[in-house]
Structure 1
Amino acid sequence: MSELPFAATTPISVGRVGLRARDAKALADFYSAVVGLEQMEADGETITLGAKGRPLLVIEGDKAAKPDDPRSAGLFHTAFLLPSRADLGRWIDFAAERQIPVTGASDHLVSEALYLNDPEGNGIEIYADRPKSQWQWDGNSVAMATQRMDVAGVRGAVPAGDAGWRGAPDNTIVGHVHLRVGDPRAAEAWWQTTLGFDTVAKYGAQAVFLSTGGYHHHIGANSWQSAGAGKRDDGRTGLAWVELQSSSGQAGRYEDPWGTVISMAPKQPG
């Protein structure tokens, strides 16, 4: 059995992500069929999905919602972290066989990642971390980049005769959430002062990456599409909330400068 990824063992990590959807069932079916999440619970228009009993995604249906505006503050992508490189290779084999469209395949030095979009336009990352012993740090800054993924190498990590992709494996988690913001500097200040996150990387003035406990990032915040964006419109689809989990038992509800709801809950065992 795989180990729980390092990202989940830090003082604060990502627990669940909430999405608002015009068609909750169709979106839930997509995350089941493509990402491999299991539907754990349905309560009216709210559907909870996860991996081997671990809840990761909550889809809240709102048929009257307006479509998400990609130029506004909101979700850039939800990043599902698989326990191993072989798991990522299994998903790539599955995606190739099913002809699932992807928007990118990148080597970020600390991780390897595939990107795609769900039917309502929400970004998705499916990734695997490299061993943290291989991450390169310069003081408090970690080296990250966007290079071409060695797809053949990742697929080659799957053992010969392997049973292949059988849905999101045990210990799959939401490793990080990447947000669209109006000003990454304001986002950085908020995450540092309100929740005690550390800045670990920046891409110029347009993106910042933050974490706790020495992870490469639990939160990304960029203005690539959303520079100058103001408060979010609650009547649109897309990101509803992000739940963080704290090993100290901290709990609370917060809103970032753009009205994105960030909740904190005690970490769950395992």
Structure 2
Amino acid sequence: MTYTADPGTTIGHTHLKVSDLEQSIAFYRDVIGLEVQQRYGHDAAFMSAGGYHHHLGLNTWRSRGGPRPAPNATGLFHVAFLYPTRKALAQAVANVLGHGVTLTGAADHGVSQALYLDDPDGNGIELYWDRAPQDWPRDPDGNLAMVNDRLDINALLKEA
């Protein structure tokens, strides 16, 4: 028998192994806009948006001073940050670019608009906004039909 998760299930916080805790805190604070909620000594920090206990955990328990993972290594492809509006996404992207961070990609997936970048340890990050479900593209049978179209970043940034 196949198990199906309860439809109310969500994916919670993410913990990342980082090489330099202070560098990572500065990146996620200044570039992504998260706030430190708690520090766990010199080894870990818990960060969030809006005062939640933590959306993101950063730790150096096994990775202090470690190298970036090879591009062909297994592991996390990216952590995604969902913004409530297209304007909020635009403001976040404007902040990222204002800090001189290079985007590694951008796409309109039909269901969402997404921009991609890497943190200082090479962990992938997706910043995205979801369209309303009734606006998602569907095939003639009603199945979801996501795409990978070009995203007009300049048009997005005009909303910032």
> In which range does the TM-score fall when normalised by the shorter chain?
0.7 to 0.9
Aligned residue for 2:50?
A: 52
SS of 1:13's equivalent?
coil
Aligned residue for 1:36?
A: 33
Aligned residue for 1:150?
A: 152
Task: Name the CA shift for 1:148/1:20 in 2 (closer, same or farther; >3 Å).
Answer: same
Q: CA deviation at 1:132?
A: 1.2
Cα distance in 1 between the residues matched to 2:26 and 2:47: 10
Q: CA deviation at 1:25?
A: 1.8
Aligned residue for 1:81?
A: 82
Task: Name the CA shift for 1:11/1:47 in 2 (closer, same or farther; >3 Å).
Answer: same
Aligned residue for 2:124?
A: 123
Indicate conservation of the 8 Å contact 2:32/2:96, yes or no.
no
RMSD of the TM alignment (CA)? 1.9
SS of 1:74's equivalent?
coil
SS of 1:12's equivalent?
coil
Q: CA deviation at 1:95?
A: 3.0
SS of 1:88's equivalent?
helix
After superposition, where does 1:85-96 map in structure 2 within 5 Å?
A: 85-96=86-97
Cα distance in 2 between the residues matched to 1:83 and 1:101: 23
* Aligned amino acid, residue 17 of structure 2: R
Cα distance in 2 between the residues matched to 1:83 and 1:134: 16
Cα distance in 2 between the residues matched to 1:118 and 1:95: 11
Aligned residue for 1:98?
A: 99
Cα distance in 2 between the residues matched to 1:46 and 1:99: 26
- What count of residue pairs does the alignment treat as equivalent? 149
Deviation per CA, 1:105-150: give whole Å up to 9, x if none. Answer: 2111111111100111100011111111101234574211111112
Cα distance in 1 between the residues matched to 2:94 and 2:132: 22
SS of 1:26's equivalent?
helix
Indicate conservation of the 8 Å contact 2:37/2:51, yes or no.
yes
Percent of matched pairs sharing the same residue: 34
Unaligned runs of 5+ in 1: 1-9, 159-270
The TM-score, its normalising length taken from structure 2, stands at: 0.83
Cα distance in 2 between the residues matched to 1:32 and 1:130: 26
Greater RCO, 1 or 2 (C-alpha within 8 Å, sep 6+) = 1
Q: CA deviation at 1:98?
A: 3.2
SS of 2:77's equivalent?
strand
Cα distance in 2 between the residues matched to 1:13 and 1:70: 28
SS of 2:55's equivalent?
strand
Deviation per CA, 1:57-84: give whole Å up to 9, x if none. Answer: 1011132645423312211100100110
Aligned residue for 1:192?
A: none
* Aligned amino acid, residue 59 of structure 2: E
The TM-score, its normalising length taken from structure 1, stands at: 0.51
Deviation per CA, 1:136-175: give whole Å up to 9, x if none. Answer: 23457421111111223323334xxxxxxxxxxxxxxxxx
Unaligned runs of 5+ in 2: 1-6
Cα distance in 2 between the residues matched to 1:98 and 1:69: 25
* Aligned amino acid, residue 88 of structure 1: L
Higher strand share: 1
